Amino acid sequence: MRIFLIHIRDPQFYALPAAKRAANGNIRVMGFPPIGIMSLSAVVKRAGHECVMFDQANPETPNETIIEEIRNQRPDLVGLSFLSTTSYPHAKILARQIRASDARVPLAFGGVFATLNAERVKRQCPEVDFVCRGDGEQLLLDLLERLDDPGSVAGLTWAKDGQVISNPNRPLDRNLDQWPFPDRESLPLDFVESMPLDVPCVLSMERFTTMQTSRGCPWPCVFCDIPIFNEGKWRSRSASHVVEEFKYLQSQGYGAVYFVDDHFLLQPKRIEAICRGINDNQITIQWGCEGRVDSVAQHLFPAMAKAHCRTLMFGVESGSQKVLDRLKKEQTLEEVASSVTRAKEAGIEIVHGFYVVGSPDETVEDIRATFSFAAKLRLDTFGFNRLCVYRGTPLWKEYVQRGLVDDDADWFKYFKCSEIDPTCLSGPVINAERTAGLRRLFLYKLLHYPAQTFRLLRRFTRYMPLRDVIHLIVKPFLGNKQGPTKNEVLSRAVEHAAMKDAAAELTTRPDAPFESIPLNEETTKSAHAL
Ligand code: B12
Ligand code: SF4
């Protein structure tokens, strides 16, 4: 059978660098590769099917081209893969365009958002035949065998005689070693290793890709839906399987890898074995991962650094214990400080802190405490995002109970908590505090950690034009100016704040205008421009 898999992108989460092509002729994209469809492509190809992938980041395959290819190649199934609430409108638009041009081809949606909202998605978007819930590997193989009679395909939501049916859940698959390595070869794209800061920072020009060594996380943070998607379980590939993939990637010339695991730091023995395998096999790839600050694997930070772990990212979230407790983060400020210190002492070059501002019950003093705390930590980089609420999370359920959101009317909308929760500070206050906090933080870092800051900036200047690096430093001092600056336009970098707001706005629009999307270039362009 022939399958098409399409990765739906939010335009604000990737950029095309000014130097458009890699030496091998591939288009270069600053962003993460679409590892979801790459994983599925490898699985269906091994089973003897044909698979063609498209990534919306590829300017050479706009929606019109994808639709044209569907007309020409007549695939047996088209799968659209997307991650979150903000990519759902783009997925709907493309699905409706495909359906308008081809009444026959079966369409399937998959990914975290589709999983957590399957029946609602099926009702709102009846053009899509199947909504696939959870892991896609075995599900897709089963679906291809039973396209005409999908009643027994576990994990599928579909419709029969006008009734939406959700087949039973698929039992969580613990044997992740059974699946082949993702198919990274079939997309004509090269990915540039960059960081998700306001002005994306290029970390290296090494051949870059992502890898998934484990799935899930068992903690109860109220804003996160990973535990729901994975039924509260953590599952992993064996160390030897991971090392084999590293060996393969090294043979293919990759120099940098980022793990998309939710919590890499969970099982010390596995981490130790992965690091040993990397060293024993003379693998030189630099890698990065994310984990919790209360990990029991912190004694392995030196071993990780020795095995070329260059980037370690922690979910710090707040510098106020009260806010951490409100978010059910189940971590203390002492744990944050000690894990960051240990990571730096171990020699990990870039230690990043993810923060949120605008949490329920957070006061101005709490936000100030967060920035003061961030200043004192030996973090190299940090991101301060506004807290948002997603359907499926414990916080969403709380908001439904408190009457702040309507589960039936609001499920597909993207909300910053401050927009709907009166216990949050207002948006303007949060933004003003964030801008002031960032200024203080930058000054503090420059004055108190000049060597560390200089080393980081030197890394950035290796791969970015000097004007972009200068802009990165002065950005917090520029105020709340809207829209991209001249520098950002020049470097083709992304102004997250304005584009994020536009993406959020798109999710809150009534569905009706999306219902009969004509296939024309202007519609696609304007949807993507939002
Ligand atoms: C990497 C990542 C990113 C990267 C994106 C990389 C990329 N290529 O686009 C970046 C940093 C850009 C990012 C940004 C954001 N992200 Co993000 N991200 C992730 C993360 C950590 C990993 C995703 C991943 O690569 N998984 C690995 C692959 C193999 O899994 P997968 O894609 O889910 O695919 C599997 C199945 O879902 C299924 N499947 C998928 N598609 C299909 C299709 C078919 C047909 C079938 C059959 C099966 C199927 O099969 C695959 C194999 O089993 C997830 C957390 C997670 N664990 O999923 C959050 C996550 C998806 N992100 C999330 C959020 C909120 C965001 C942002 C909105 C954050 C923000 N406020 O700015 C943005 C929006 C991005 C967007 N919409 O495009 C939320 C989504 C919550 C929600 N309900 O909407 C998640 C779940 C994290 C969380 N708990 O908060 N993200
Ligand atoms: S520790 Fe991270 S991945 Fe786990 S539930 Fe909390 S936010 Fe989600």
Would you state the pLDDT for residue 225?
95
Q: What crossing angle do the helices spanning 450-463 and 466-474 adopt, rounded to 10°? A: 140
pLDDT at 495: 36
pLDDT mean across residues, the chain: 89
Q: Are 378 and 339 within 8 A, CB to CB?
A: no
Residue partners of 214: CB distance under 8 A and separation at least 6: 176, 234, 235, 236, 237, 261, 262, 263, 264, 266
Ligand 2 in reach of 261 Cβ (< 6 A): no
Q: What is the amino acid identity at position 377?
A: L
In angstroms, rounded to a whole number, what is the distance separating the alpha carbons of residues 491 and 200? Answer: 10
pLDDT, tens digit, for every residue of 63-117? 999 999 999 999 999 999 999 999 999 999 999 999 999 999 999 999 999 999 9
Is the distance from the beta carbon of residue 200 to the nearest atom of ligand 1 less than 6 Å? no
Placement of tokens 């990737």 in the chain = 14
Contact assessment for residue 484 and residue 529, using Cβ atoms and an 8 Å cutoff: no
Distance CA 124, CA 15 (A): 30
Q: Is the CB of 215 under 6 A from ligand 2?
A: no
First to last CA, the chain: 36
Q: Backbone phi, then psi, for 163, in 5-degree steps?
A: -100, 130
Q: Is 224 in the pocket of ligand 2 (CB under 6 A)?
A: yes
Ligand 1 neighbourhood includes 137 CB (under 6 angstroms): yes
Query: Which amino acid does the sequence have at 428?
Result: P
The residue that leads in pLDDT, 138 or 438, is: 138
Average pLDDT over residues 162-187: 97
**Ligand nearest, relative to CA of residue 327:** 2
Q: How far is CA 95 from CA 71, 103, 144, 170, 521, in A?
A: 14, 11, 19, 25, 15
pLDDT band with cut points at 50, 70 and 90 for residue 250: very high
Closest residue to atom 8 of ligand 2, CA basis: 224
Query: Is the minimum distance from the CB of 270 to ligand 2 under 6 angstroms?
Result: no
CA 186, CA 120: separation in Å to the nearest integer? 33
**pTM for the whole thing?**
0.92
Whether residue 435 contacts residue 476, with contact meaning beta carbons closer than 8 Å, is answered with yes
Average pLDDT over residues 176-185: 98
Strand 156-160 to strand 163-166: parallel, antiparallel, or no bridges (unpaired)?
antiparallel
Give the residue from 417, 424, 423, 396 showing the smallest Cα distance to 408.
396
Q: Which amino acid is at 67?
A: I
In the chain, the percentage of residues whose pLDDT exceeds 70 is 89
CA–centroid distance, residue 275 to ligand 1 (Å): 26
Contact status, residue 120 vs residue 146, Cβ threshold 8 Å: no
Q: Report the C-alpha gap between 252 and 452 in whole angstroms.
A: 33
Q: What separation in angstroms does the CA of 462 have from each of 140, 195, 443, 469? A: 43, 15, 23, 10
Residues 396-406: tens digit of each pLDDT: 999 999 999 99
Task: Tell me the best of 225, 235, 292 to mutate to test the pocket of ligand 2, counting ligand atoms within 8 Å of each CB and taking the most.
Answer: 292
Q: What is the pLDDT of residue 463?
A: 76
What is the CA(72)–ligand 1 centre distance, in A? 30
pLDDT of 514 reads 56
Which pLDDT belongs to residue 201? 73
Cα atoms in the 13 Å half-sphere on the side-chain side of 241: 16
Residue 471 near residue 485, CB atoms below 8 Å: yes
Query: Is the pLDDT score of 502 beyond 80?
Result: no
What's the half-sphere exposure (Cβ side, CA atoms, 13 Å) at 249?
A: 27
Q: Which of 20-29, 209-218, 292-301 has the lowest mean pLDDT?
A: 20-29
**Distance of alpha carbon 512 from alpha carbon 399, whole angstroms:** 26
CA distance 399 to 90: 26
- Whether the CB of 222 sits within 6 Å of ligand 2: no
- Candidate from 164-168, 272-276, 390-394, 471-475 with smallest mean pLDDT: 471-475
Q: Which residue has the higher pLDDT, 468 or 430?
A: 430
Say how many Å lie between the CA of residue 227 and the centre of ligand 2: 7
Identify residue 273 by its one-letter amino acid code.
A
Q: How far apart are CA 384 and CA 454, in angstroms?
A: 22
Are the beta carbons of 283 and 308 closer than 8 angstroms? Answer: yes
Helix (H, G, I), strand (E, B) or coil at 224: coil
User: Is the CB of residue 112 less than 8 Å from the CB of residue 229?
Assistant: yes
The number of angstroms, rounded, from the C-alpha of 185 to the middle of its chain's C-alpha atoms is 21
Residue 160 has pLDDT above 50, yes or no: yes
